[in-house]
Amino acid sequence: METDTIQGYHIHIYYPEAAGPELARAFRDALAARFEVELGMWRETAGGPHPSAMFQVTFAAPRFAEIVPWLMLNRGGLDVLVHPETGDDVADHGDFALWLGRVLPIDFEAIRAFMALRRQREGHGAAD
Ligand code: ZN
């Protein structure tokens, strides 16, 4: 498999709901101030495939070598998932995933259900 299938990367910054989002938000803001990234969704509770509250950040593939080392040194004890976007969401969050900190239990059934729904929608759209 060639790495040019990677369209970009996601960073998921997980934080314990009980602790509140402050630490994770400060980490995300520091990241955004320093690098060319796009701030994505913020989930205040566990949901979908994600086992806890989290912030999502995306970045372009050429930025990997500058951003990931900074994440390693500055995550402040937070659990961070970095994954490529290859079009296969299950592999992206599983076999292809890079974890900084603990490996949290991703709900792959939720991802499969989401992918099936998307395929159905795309199939329907193509037939229209
Ligand atoms: Zn993601």
CATH dotted code for 3-127: 3.30.70.1240
Q: Say whether 38 sits in a helix, a strand or coil.
A: strand
Give the E-state strand segments of 23-122 in sequence order: 38-43, 53-59, 79-84, 98-100
Q: Where are the chain's structural domains? A: 3-127
* 56 φ/ψ angles, rounded to the nearest 5 degrees: -115, 140
Q: Residue 127: its pLDDT value, please? A: 47
Give pTM, 2 decimals: 0.90
Q: Residue 35: its pLDDT value, please? A: 98
DSSP bridge partners of 83: 10
10 CA from centroid of ligand 1 (Å):
5
Strand order in the sheet with 98-100: 38-43, 53-59, 9-15, 79-84, 98-100
- Residues 38, 102: Cα–Cα separation, whole Å: 24
Q: Is the dihedral of CA 63, 34, 56, 54 positive or negative?
A: positive
Q: Which residues surround ligand 1, an ion (CB under 5 A)?
A: 10
Tell me which residues of the chain have a pLDDT lower than 50: 127
- Residues 100, 68: Cα–Cα separation, whole Å: 9
82 CA from centroid of ligand 1 (Å):
8
